[in-house]
Structure 1
Amino acid sequence: MKRLGLRGKLLVAQIVVLLASCVTIAAVAIAIGAPLFHNHLAMAGIEDDNVRLHTEEAFSQTIFVALLSGVAVALVGASIAAAIVVRRITAPISRLAVAAQSVAEGDYDVQIERSDVDSDFTRLESAFSDMAARLDHSGNVRKRLLADLAHELRTPVSTLAAYVDGIEDGILEPDATSWAVMRDQLERMRRLAHDLADVSAADEHALGLIIQPEDLSDIVCAATAAAAPRFEDRGVSLAIHVPASTVTSLVDRQRIEQILANLLENALRHTPSGGTVRVTVEESAGHVSVSVTDTGEGIPADQLESVFDRFHRGDSSDGSGLGLTIARSLAVAHGGTLTARVGSDGGGTTLELCLPISA
C-alpha cells in the first residue's frame, strides 16, 4: 500500500467505496425484493404452489442477473470516472512536487501550469510560483552583488597593498601623503559597505519604510540646509524654489532625505566651482516633483538611464556608483519615479523625483 502513492491510494479508496455501495445495494434489493414479490403474488390471488414457485425463482434469477450486471457496469464506469477525477486532482500536486524538488536542488527558475481545479490549489500554485520567483531574484541579486563587489573592491585593495608593500620595502615614505591615500581608500571601502547594505535592502524589498504624511517642501528645505556647507566649501551656489502652500505626501521622511542627499551629492560632484545647483519643488495633477538641476558637464544622452545602474560612474565621479541606484530604489518603494534628463538650457543635468500627493 505504501508503494501506491497518493494517486493509487485515492483510486483504491474510491473503488472500495463503490464496491461496498454496490454490495449494499444488491443485498438490500435481494432482502426486500423477494418478500415484496411474494406478497404481490398472494395479493394477485395466485394459489397454485408450482406457479408461485416458478414465478418467484424466475424473479430471483432475473433480479440477481440484473443486479450483477448493473454492479459490474457501475464498477467499470465508476472506476474510469474515479481514475479521471483522481488524476485531475493529483496532477497539480505532482507538478508542485517536481517544482519543489527543483527548488530544493537550487533551480529556482520553475514554471507551474495553473490547474484551476480548485481555488485552494490555485492559491497554492500562485504562492509557490511567487516564492520561487523571489528566491530566483534574490539569488541573481546576490550573484550580481558579489561580482560587482569583487570588481569594486579590487582597486582600493590593490592600492592599499601597493602602499603597504612600498612602505615595508622602503620605496615609499610613511609620510602624510601616503597615510592620506590609504585613509581615502579605507573611507572608500567603508562608504561602499554602507551603500551596499542599502541597495541590498532595496533589491530585497526589505527597506522597512515608516510611512506617514509629510510636507515635502519642509523635507527639501531640511535636505538643502544640511548640504549647504559642502556647497559653500566648493564654491557652488545652491538655490531652492518651493511653493508657498503645503505639499503633503505619504513618505518615509528619512528615506526621502536620503534620496535628496544623494541627488545633491551627485550634483555637487559634477558641478565645477562657480556653478549653480537649483532645487525646485512643483505640484501637478496628483503628483509633486522635486528637480535637482546642475550646471556641470552633463550626462551623455545614451547614459541617462544607465546612471541608475549599480556601480555606474562617470569619468569625473569618485563615489561608490551606488548613490543613484539607491535613490531610484527608494523612489520606487514610495510609488514614485526618479529620472534623469539633460538640463533645460542644454547643459548640465536634471534629476527629477516624482511622488504621489496624498489626499
Structure 2
Amino acid sequence: MPGKVNSTAARLLVVIIAVTAFGSIVGWVVGALIAPRIFHHHLHNALPQVATGVLVHADEAFTTANSIAFAVSLLAALLFSAILALYLSRRLSRTLGPLTEAASEVAAGRYDVRVETGGLGPEVDDVVIAFNDMAARLERDERTRSRLLADVAHELRTPVATIEAYIEGILDGVVELDASTAAVLTLQIARIARLTDDMAAVSWAEADRPRPEAGSVDPARLVESAVLAAGSRFEAKGVHLLTTIEPTPTIRADAERLGQVLGNLLDNALRHTPPTGAVTIATWASSERVHLSVTDTGDGILAEHQPLIFDRFYRVDTARDRLRGGSGIGLAIAKSLVEANGGRISVVSDGPGLGSTFTLEFPIENTSEHVRVPSSENLQEG
C-alpha cells in the first residue's frame, strides 16, 4: 500500500511539472515568435525615419532580453513547481499512507485503527473523519455481533438441552409423554421461536421501505389504544398505568407502527418496574412538534448505557434481562419505526433506581415531510 501512495505522489509530481512545461512552451512561443514581431511593428510605426541598422539592433536587444527573462522565469517556475510538488506529495503521503494502511486493517477485521487528519484541507479531513467514524461504528457493531452470538448460543443452549433430555427420557422410558411433559416441550420450543422472531423482526424494522398507508394520527387516541391493550398486563403485575393527555395537533405517520412502538415502550417499562410502581404515558405539543413520553419508576439506566440503549441486542444487564424475557431488540425496533415515521426517540434517566423517561417527537402534520416506514406485517418484541 505505501508503494501505491508513493506512486500517486510521483504522478502528482509529473503532472505539476508537465503543467509547468506546457505553460513554458506557450510562453516561449509567445515570447520568441509573436512578441518580437509586435515589438518590431510598433517600433517601425513609432520611428519610421530611424535607420534600418538601429531597428535591427533594437529587435536583437529586445529578443535577447526577452529570452533571458523567459529562461530565468522558466527555471524559477520549474524549480518552484518541483519544490511544491515534493511538498504536496509528502503531505499527501503522510495522510493517504496511514489512511490506506488503516483501510487494509479494517478490511482484515481490525476495527480499532484510527487515522489523524493531515491538514491537507477540509475535504481530505472530512474523508479521514468519516473513515474514523466508520471504523468506530464497525468496532461497536463487531462487539454487538460477538455479544449477540454469545447471547443466542446461551439462550438456545437451555431449551435445546431441555428438549434433548426429555426426548431421551421418553425414548428410554424414564419420562412419560403426558400433558406436563408436552407443556415443558412446548414452552422450550416457544423460547426458540421467540428468539428467531426477534432476529427477523429487527431486520424488518430496519428495512425502511416506503408504505402508502401513512395518514393523520391523533396522539391521544394512539395513547388510549396502547393503554387499553397493555392494561391487563399492568394490572396482573400490580403496576399502576397512568396517563397525562394534553390536546395536540395530529401527526402524519403509520398508526399501527406507532402503536407497536408504544406497546414496546410500555412492555419495557413494565418489565423494569417493580409491583406497586407506576408508569405514566403522556402527550403534549410544542410550537412545531408533538411529544409522547413513557415514564416509569423502575430500575433506571446508568448514563454510560443511555447512548447505547437503542442498539440491536444491547442489554444493560445481560443476565437480568434474559431472566425477565427481554431479547434486547424492543428498543431497537422502536427507534427504527420512529425514525421511519419522521420522528426522534430519546431516553433520560437519573440513574439506577430512579426510573427512566422515553420521549418520542414528531413534526406536526402540516410541517412533516414524506414518511417512510418498514413494510413488514409482524414486528413484535420478544
| TM-score normalised by structure 1 residue count | 0.69
Q: CA deviation at 1:81?
A: 2.7
Q: Give the 3 Å change call, closer, same or farther, for CA 153–207 of structure 1 in structure 2.
A: farther
Residue 322 of structure 1 is matched in structure 2 by 328
Q: Which amino acid aligns with 1:243?
A: I
Name the structure, 1 or 2, with higher relative contact order (CA <8 Å, separation 6+): 2
Structure 1 position 176 matched with structure 2 position 175: no
Contact 1:247–1:357 (CA<8 Å) still a contact in 2? no
Which of 194, 200, 204 matches 2:197? 194
Any unmatched runs of 5+ in structure 2? 365-382
Question: Residue 249 and residue 242 in structure 1: after superposition, are their counterparts in 2 closer, same or farther (change >3 A)?
Answer: farther
Which residue, out of 294, 303, 306, partners 1:290?
294
Give the letter aligned to residue 16 of structure 1: A
Q: Which amino acid aligns with 2:293?
A: S
Displacement of 1:160 in angstroms is 1.6
Q: Which residue of structure 1 aligns with residue 360 of structure 2? A: 355
Are the aligned partners of 1:291 and 1:350 in contact in 2 as well (CA < 8 Å)?
A: yes
Contact 2:301–2:349 (8 Å) recurs in 1: no
Q: For the pair shown, which has the larger CA radius of gyration, 1 or 2?
A: 1
Distance 2:178 2:201 in 1: 35
The 2-side partners of 1:27 and 1:190 are apart by 82
Amino acid at match of 1:81: L
Aligned to 1:139: 142
Equivalent residue runs for 1:76-155 within 5 Å: 76-85=79-88, 94=97, 96-114=99-117, 117=120, 121=124, 124-125=127-128, 127-155=130-158
2:359 is aligned with what amino acid? C
1:86 CA drift (Å): 5.3
- Contact 2:338/2:345 (<8 A) preserved: yes
Distance 1:59 1:141, change over 3 A: same
- Post-superposition offset of 1:167: 1.9
How many residues are paired up?
343
CA distance, structure 1, for counterparts of residue 5 and residue 302 of structure 2? 62
Alignment of structure 1 residues 209-248 onto 2, 5 Å: 213-228=216-231, 234=236, 240-243=242-245, 245-246=247-248, 248=250
Residue aligned with 2:294, SS: strand
Asked whether the equivalents of residues 282 and 292 of structure 2 are also in contact (C-alpha less than 8 Å), the reply is yes
Matched, 1:167 2:170: yes
Q: How far apart, in 1, do the equivalents of 2:153 and 2:246 lie?
A: 48
Which deviations, in whole Å up to 9, do the C-alpha atoms of 1:299-333 show, x marking residues without a partner?
49989979x65274549954244376557746985
Looking at structure 2, the residues matched to 91 and 187 of structure 1 have their Cα atoms a distance apart, in angstroms, of: 57
What is the CA distance between 1:183 and its match in structure 2? 0.9
Deviation of the 1:182 alpha carbon? 1.3
**CA offsets, 1:166-205, max 9 Å, x none?**
2222222222211211111111121122233445677xx5
Structure 2 CA distance for partners of 1:33 and 1:352, relative to 1, 3 Å: closer
Among all aligned residue pairs of Structure 1 and Structure 2, give the percentage whose two residues are the same amino acid.
34
Within 1, Cα distance between the matches of 2:280 and 2:264? 16
Q: Distance in 2 between matches of 1:10 and 1:314?
A: 59
How does the TM-score come out when normalised to structure 2?
0.65
Structure 1: which 5+ runs fail to align? 343-347
CA distance in 1, matches of 2:40, 2:21: 26
- Counterpart Cα distance in 2 of 1:258 and 1:278: 21
Partner residue in 2 for 1:6: 8
Matched residues in 1 for 2:183 and 2:47: separation? 122
- Name the stretch that deviates more: 160-169 or 255-264: 255-264
